[in-house]
Chain A
Amino acid sequence: MANLLYFASLRETLDSAKEQLDLPETVTNVAELKGMLSDRSAIWKASFSSDTSLLVSVNQKMANDQTEINNADEIAFFPPVTGG
């Protein structure tokens, strides 16, 4: 099972901070995962559509749509950062 995390405004929009998800064989990279999550509802679709500024990390390293993923990974989605 992959661990999915959502932070900040995305966490509030989705009303979810984390979940465990069994990735099907058809989901091998971040882009495919975003496609799968987009199919959940209109809110998820709007959050994961390709024109948002959403960032992604895999195992706590910044990643992108092409990054490969599997069921052992921690995958986090979040908006651009605003610390400091």
Chain B
Amino acid sequence: MLISVQQEDFDVSAVTSELCSNRKDIGAVVTFSGMVRDQSPDQNLLALELEHYPGMTEKALEEISNSAMKRWDIDDLAIIHRVGQLKPAENIVMVVVISAHRKEAFDACEFLMDYLKTQAPFWKKEITKQGEQWIEFKESDQQAADNWK
């Protein structure tokens, strides 16, 4: 399992290769990556500021990952989440799940993202030309996570 909270960008294919290296039992690789999207009305997003709780955030990601490893027949996974100031179209987060079969990997990847969005202590603030604003928690994200219960 690879879990990282970092300022630096990541390379999805490099992380995926590392996860699969020296294995011949993997038939499915599912990756998700999230990018900074400008959702301001006038397309004037300068940056997204990502804040986290050092220590607790990593623990939360580990717990979510352990839950996925127990629940699905998957072989390994990686979660990398960036923090700090990120510009539009930059990477924010990536999740990779590898397994023998695709169904398990698809489900586990979606579960990891749904849980990460509601359980891991990260907060996003939009910095626009007009000023700064914290992004509000979305009820639909909570419902997506609740659907896995």
Chain A interface residues toward B at CB < 8 A:
5, 7-9, 53, 57, 60-62, 76, 78-84
Contacts and interface: CB of A to CB of B under 8 A. Distances in A.
Taking chain B's interface residues, is the majority helix, strand, or loop, or is none over half, making it mixed? mixed
B93 A84 contact: yes
A84 B116 contact: yes
Nearest to B120: A83
Interface string B36-48: 0000000000000
Interface in B71-92: 81, 92
B52 A76 contact: no
A81 B56 contact: no
Contacts of B137: 53, 79-82
Q: Which of B34, B81, B113, B121 has the largest number of chain A CB atoms within 10 A?
A: B121
B110 to A, nearest CB: 12
Nearest to B133: A9
A9 B125 CA distance: 9
B14 interface: no
B123 A83 contact: yes
